[in-house]
Chains A and B, each alone.
Chain A
Amino acid sequence: MSLDIRVPIGLLFLCLGGLLTGFGIVTHFTNPGIYTMSLNVNINLWWGLVMIAFGAAMFYYGRRGVALAGTKPEAKDALAAGDLD
């Protein structure tokens, strides 16, 4: 299959992370009261940023993986093991 699963995962996390970060920034000024329940942490903003970073890494490695498609199974095994983190 020439669809690397890391590409859609990366895109989904970029989308959701971007959405949460944007919402976190806006609510920081307009409605900071909603964060009393999350112990006064702007969880939308911070977790959104973490999700963007994860999504970007997945997307990058996924695109690199597509470029390497067609290599021998052993070589792919080694790469996949190396990319586990």
Chain B
Amino acid sequence: MHTTLAWIDYLIMVIYFAFVLGIGFALKRFMKTSTDFFLSGRSIPAWVAGLAFISANLGAQEVIGMAASGAKYGISTAHFYWLGAIPAMVFVGLFMMPFYYGSRARSVPEYLRLRFDEKTRGLNAISFAVMTVMSSGISMYAMAKLIETLHIFDPLMQALGLPMSYVFHLSIIVSALITLGYVYLGGLTSAIYNEVLQFFLIVAGFFPLVALGLWNVGGWEGLVAKCPPGFGHAWKGMTNPDNNPLGVEWFALAMGLGFVLSFGYWCTDFLVVQRAMAADSMSSARRTPLIAAVPKMIFPFLVILPGLIAVALPTPTAADLPAGAPESVVKAESMGKGIIPAKVDSAGVVQVDTNGKPVLDYDLAIPNMLLHYFPTGMLGLGLTALLASFMSGMAGNITAFNTVWTFDIYQAYIKPQASDKHYLWMGHFATLFGTVISIAAAYVATKFNNIMELLQLVFAFVNAPLFATFALGMFWKRATADGAFYGLVSGIGAAALHHGLTLPGGSEPGIKGGWIHVLHPYRNEMAQNFWTAIWAFSVCLVVTIAVSLVTKPRPDKELQGLVYSLTKHDVDEHLPWYKSPGFFGIVVVLLSISLNLIFR
């Protein structure tokens, strides 16, 4: 790529970072107790918690990844939203929040301890802590890579007299310092406030991009006509894996993605649940995911459409590129699809897959769209929006990590009876070393070329069985502690076994699967992932039920407020019907169904 950013682009970035850190400083004086630092003193209004709820998840994987999937699979990528996220968000708001918020647990692992026992909590706390620092490190890595590719810091390096090879290190350090700065100063409140700020910035940066792009290709009709066949439909051809771009049939899609993976993520991942737990009242906590669902429904138009537009645009030929562009760039661009170039290794050779086709660098869909449509000025805003999304992802992980570390690992196993002041200090310290481990994870990521897929896989391993544990724990009072623990362990085992016995098409056995023996090939990674989740969930469900039935149940009075059948349900009776979470939930589900029908 060949960009030149002007002073105004840098000025926009600097102003944004000044605001981000300013919010941290402004909130510093409110951080007096551990509740203030880790739970925002449970004082966040519903709409703020709601926007933070989706924004904390709007990191690198989301913005870059969804555009990449849009370019690869078309509008069926929207299933992650309309079939997956929305129903799960309605479910967590209506049915699960009363237990999370009502039990006064400070974290998801802590709820597991209240409902089951210490060993289930420990397993969840440790796997979750590892997952958060890993994904924060990967956000950092992706951000540094992007800054390097787009040459954002090059003038700075020149001014400082440092070699260009240091851009990557400088990006990692600067992004880590800024995130550390605002989380350290203002805790969860600062992360939440910044997530809301970032949300609006992301919309401001991407909305004009999509508008210009759509206008350019001739609206929705023009876009579909210029895209590969099947890209304009979400459901067409879903009866058979061979007839649609996703390579799955409707059952794997609805069960694997719509039910297990999405419910697993949105209902049990502390990173998002923490935002609702910080709400100022039970009714705000229940409305948090419901409010979040409204912008979430519209997000495919902001993050998936740029990917489709990038594929629909004419591929630049060598003649379109400026004179003097390196040969590798010319070769990569003209071998790409739309404005998505082929991947080039460090020696300038275009990479090809096992079928001899060039491997496309789908992750460049969004950055290339920004460079294609935005002049100086707006380009600065677009890049700032992109950086803001990386920051959201990182800070969300760091705040979830410091809470789980302090309450579920440090307080539970290392120092149980310390003062609140001590835990507040530990929270600050955990923020610091969480950031340091994230930096280490970012450097580990540079050693692997498919670390993103590895992380997705870990999500399928950890979150999918956990949802079975939660569903049984919250709605079946007979589920016991031993049932939950052994169910969880065998669910994770089943995921590993399934992964070891299957392989997506076009890949070598190893990190992508098949490391035991290839019993069954899948069309692609997506199909394999969905089925891994289905197996993990089902095995966990069956084992939990079986073990629970042969172990001794807990008496009813110990489970009050933790289980559906033993909890009062009239929490929202003081609200008129049109303001009740139930009504809001139905409206959201109906809207989501209509989107599925419109883009079927």
Contact = CB atoms under 8 A, between A and B. Distances in A.
Q: Is the interface of A mostly helix, strand, loop or mixed?
A: helix
A2 B46 CA distance: 16
A8 B22 CA distance: 9
B200 A38 contact: no
A47 B281 CA distance: 37
A34 interface: yes
Interface string A47-82: 100010010000000000000000001101110110
B515 to A, nearest CB: 47
Contacts, number: 115
A37 B374 contact: yes
Contact of B19 (A12, A47, A51, A78): A12
Contacts of A3: 23, 26-27, 30, 193
Contacts of B446: none
B594 to A, nearest CB: 21
Given A23-B377, A27-B377, A38-B378, A5 B48 contact: yes
B185 to A, nearest CB: 12
Interface residues of A, number: 36
B281 to A, nearest CB: 5
Nearest to B201: A12
Nearest to B215: A39
B574 to A, nearest CB: 8
Contact of B377 (A20, A39, A73): A20
A43 B45 contact: no
Interface string B274-309: 000000110110010001000000000000000000
B30 A1 contact: yes
A9 B196 contact: yes
B200 A16 contact: no
B197 to A, nearest CB: 5
Interface string A1-41: 11101001101110110011001100100000011011101
A51 B23 CA distance: 20
A76 B19 contact: no
A19 B8 contact: yes
Contacts of A76: 45, 280
A31 B43 CA distance: 49
Interface stretch (B9-17, B335-343, B423-431, B435-443): B9-17
B375 A35 contact: yes
Contact of B47 (A34, A37, A54, A80): A80
Contacts of A41: 212
B297 to A, nearest CB: 15
Nearest to B44: A1
B193 A77 contact: no
Nearest to A11: B19
A76 B11 CA distance: 37
A22 B117 CA distance: 61
A13 B8 CA distance: 15
23 contacts: A1-B43, A3-B26, A3-B30, A3-B193, A8-B26, A11-B19, A12-B15, A15-B15, A16-B204, A20-B12, A23-B8, A27-B376, A34-B376, A41-B212, A43-B208, A43-B374, A43-B375, A44-B378, A73-B280, A73-B281, A77-B46, A77-B283, A80-B284
Interface of A: 1-3, 5, 8-9, 11-13, 15-16, 19-20, 23-24, 27, 34-35, 37-39, 41, 43-44, 47, 51, 54, 73-74, 76-78, 80-81, 83-84
